[in-house]
Amino acid sequence: MIKEICEKYNRVYTKDLQVRMYGVTDRQICETIVNELKMPISINEFEKQLGDLAEKLLPSAPLQKGAERLLTHLHDSKIPTALATNSTEQAVRLHATARPKLFGLFHHKVSVTDPEVSRGKPKPDIYLVAASRFPDKPKPKQCLVFEDSSVGVTSAVEAGMQVVMIPDSRLDREHTRHATIVIKSLMDFQPELFGLPPFDDTPRRYSRIEENPP
């Protein structure tokens, strides 16, 4: 979506810029791109165009492989989950409308535009707010986070939580070192490593996991 807007104004959304924008808020993306690429439109206009494209394309965006399997397993195992995202409430609503059954598996959802969230990732606010809304009010160290961006990992670590990272292939290893573990796909996640009920549909594949120090 961002690349499409940039190309319309003869600007190049480079791979380096893409990596830097991975996981940050939509507003931060708009500010950075408009300023660094010297876009001939305002930040607000860029944000509006991005929102219009998101409304059209987000509902059909593909799921990360293994996401539905994991969420269903945790739900069936009575392990409550929450969505904590740097996306806006509008974007979350678009996704939820397209996949009501899947998004209904979350106990609750916290977006960057939530009234209780004063700062987006990489600050810890979103994860702390999300944890506070579970009925049993778990301590941060009892929470397990799944992240695909270094911004999100930093947020979760700052919140005092454990993090399973499924990094984008474009990220340097340096951006993954703060995660508790790094896996190539959610299909490789082993719940029992964190005291959770194991999957019963596939054999374990220990060789695919890289362990990092907390």
Distance CA 4, CA 11 (A): 10
Residue where a domain stops, chosen among 60, 78, 101: 60
Distance in angstroms between the alpha carbons of the first and the last residue of the chain: 35
Q: What is the chain's pLDDT, residue by residue, as a tens digit (214 residues)?
A: 888 888 888 999 888 888 788 778 888 889 999 999 999 999 999 988 888 887 777 667 777 889 999 999 999 999 999 999 998 888 888 888 888 999 999 999 999 999 999 999 999 999 999 999 999 999 999 999 999 988 999 999 999 999 999 987 777 777 788 899 999 999 999 999 999 999 986 544 443 444 444 4
Task: Spell out the alpha helix ranges (H) of 60-174.
Answer: 67-76, 89-98, 100-103, 125-132, 150-158
pLDDT score recorded for residue 34: 92
Place of tokens 């994991």: 70
Q: Are residues 48 and 154 in the same domain?
A: no
Q: Are residues 91 and 19 in the same domain?
A: no
Distance CA 145, CA 166 (A): 11
Query: E strands along the chain, which residues?
Result: 82-84, 108-110, 144-147, 162-165, 181-183, 209-211
Which token pair is 53? 């494209």
Q: What is the domain range of residue 169? A: 67-211
Please report, as a single letter, which amino acid is at residue 28. Q
